[in-house]
Structure 1
């Protein structure tokens, strides 16, 4: 998270909290096209590399007395496995690799974005929307493959009075198609908001009178962002498990 601030002619400070989210070409200048390698491309690639280093190379020795990287990898594996089993049941465990990949990628993307001068890829809706749509399309297709037309029972609340069922079905249908919107906005919005607040406090750090307060505020916000980085990955993953459960067991 870059922290640039500049003084205006009258001695005031100018800083732009949202500049840290600008997508720029990695090489040269000019417009960003479909095949342009950008700062987003770089940090997405680094997140993938970090996951591979942790989960593949870090566990390659499979030592009885695990190394630090193996210990962390095993903890992450057990954490996500238990989550999938608890939410979706035994039927959902066959989809564990997909959910584990999602969780690890989002965790590393979030934490890499906390490195000074880095770029937070999960602060962009273009990234989180793709992740959310991939979940939405996967569970929808899976729901019809597993249940056929019976998947539509997800929208029919059979326990409600008959007169209310059509209304509830419409509400359920709308809420179902809103899932990828809320799924993506929750992750990107929380990550973006935290980074923007840190940037604002960093801009005030240049003012000597309030610099100590600003530094304390940045420290507190940074600690909160570390927590948010994990929590948002957890929330995205557990919602994926909930949607998977609906696909596997659609009956109300």
Structure 2
């Protein structure tokens, strides 16, 4: 570690290119310095709070004075509402409509957290597994608990592939059970991994922009990657939400 630090310092002193794409994901105290504890207010706390405030501003403040001819803010809020409502109804069925407020909250928080993370000098909270794992576990526990509450022991039909030949059913049941408990892992890693990878690539290209010879190419690459990340910010929120709807459908209608 000391050797690597010395080499980095030597490169910096010699005018070499030294940058660390992963530094942007470091959790730091918002006030002062020192260790981060569970009660410490950090940059993650700040940007999560800003995401919540942004959702509140759009969905509450922009729609508080609803009009027949909507404002731009009201139009965006209504489009988001209709988009998520149709997703819940189409994927999980009308029985899942009572869960719409929860699914809507998930979608809006993730999409705003992703977009706020694209601002200069910001922090992308959804790039941290600590955030996405909590979101995924909340979905997993909600679906599992409600599945047993609604269906009782019949919820276990989710793991029993009745359409398969009888000798294969126990094997498939084990595979289905493992797949079910892996859900929160894949659900969280998909979101955090994609967001983190895109931001790291942008930082790499930004580091190369300091070199005069390849600066124009690097700037074009940054612009292209930034445009792609804007699309990814929405797509990853959509994927997380639609998977939540799929899991809700399993809780409401277990069985193959």
Using the size of structure 2 for normalisation, the TM-score is 0.96
1:229 aligns with 2:233: yes
> Which among 143, 152, 169 is matched to residue 139 of structure 1?
143
> Which among 72, 83, 86 is matched to residue 82 of structure 1?
86
The answer for the alignment partner of 1:251 in structure 2 is 255
**Residue 8 of structure 1: CA displacement?**
1.9
Q: Give me the whole-angstrom Cα distance separating, in 2, the residues matched to 1:160 and 1:81.
A: 34
**Residue 126 of structure 1: CA displacement?**
0.1
1:120 aligns with 2:135: no
**Residue 10 of structure 1: CA displacement?**
2.8
Segment drifting more, 10-19 vs 113-122: 10-19
> Which among 36, 43, 47 is matched to residue 32 of structure 1?
36
**RMSD of the TM alignment (CA)?**
1.1
C-alpha deviations, 1:66-90, integer Å up to 9, x for none?
0111000000001001100001111
**Residue 17 of structure 1: CA displacement?**
0.2
Structure 1: 5+ residue stretches without partners? none
> Which among 193, 196, 200 is matched to residue 196 of structure 1?
200
Secondary structure of the structure 1 residue equivalent to 2:192: helix
Point out 4+ residue stretches in structure 1 off by more than 4 angstroms: none
The answer for the alignment partner of 1:180 in structure 2 is 184
Aligned pairs, number: 248
Q: Give me the whole-angstrom Cα distance separating, in 2, the residues matched to 1:9 and 1:56.
A: 52
Structure 2: 5+ residue stretches without partners? 1-7
Q: Give me the whole-angstrom Cα distance separating, in 1, the residues matched to 2:60 and 2:111.
A: 16
